[in-house]
């Protein structure tokens, strides 16, 4: 996990429409960068829908919400359309940003170990500095916790 107070690594990934998006495109605004394991799974869907239902509040805080998983561009498009997700989803099949942000880690489930994305959220300030790092977040409460932090 990256440390608070350090520069957020820049990256360029494709959004659900196949357009290249860079993190640095959003400098000047606060960025809520959240990493999640997989589109259309129960926890990831609840988290995405919770971000979507609070989207106007995030916009009111001049914050950009960006979700990243290793799913394909077409998977993101279907996921966003199915749940009317108004924020940015970025596809990272090569694990570029996922590795840069140190969220590709060993996970254990039912006694078996495998590598995967650990659900993590970073809040990045207007200058590209990580101001808050939230590891192993819960999908149902993470968006509210982020908003509570932004409201401080």
> Annotated catalytic sites, by residue?
44
The answer to whether 1 and 105 are in contact (CB under 8 A) is: no
Cβ-based neighbour number of residue 14 at 10 Å: 17
Characterise 125 by phi-psi region: left (phi > 0), alpha (psi -120 to 50), beta (else): beta
| Alpha-carbon distances, residue 41 vs 45, 47, 66, 125, 127 (angstroms) | 6, 10, 18, 30, 33
Distance CA 152, CA 147 (A): 9
């Amino acid at each position: 996990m990256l440390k608070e107070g350090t520069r957020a690594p820049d990256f360029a990934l494709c959004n659900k429409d196949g357009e290249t998006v860079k993190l640095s495109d959003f400098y000047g605004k606060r960025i809520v960068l959240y990493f999640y394991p997989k589109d259309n799974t129960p926890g990831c869907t609840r988290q995405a829908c919770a971000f979507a239902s609070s989207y106007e509040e995030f916009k009111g805080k001049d914050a950009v919400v960006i979700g990243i998983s290793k799913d394909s561009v077409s998977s993101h498009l279907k996921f966003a359309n199915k749940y009317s997700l108004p924020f940015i989803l970025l596809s990272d099949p090569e694990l570029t940003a996922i590795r840069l942000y140190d969220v590709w880690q060993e996970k254990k489930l039912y006694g078996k170990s495998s590598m995967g994305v650990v659900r993590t959220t970073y809040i990045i300030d207007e200058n590209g500095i990580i101001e808050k790092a939230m590891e192993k977040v819960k999908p149902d409460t993470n968006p509210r916790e982020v908003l509570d932090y932004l409201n401080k």
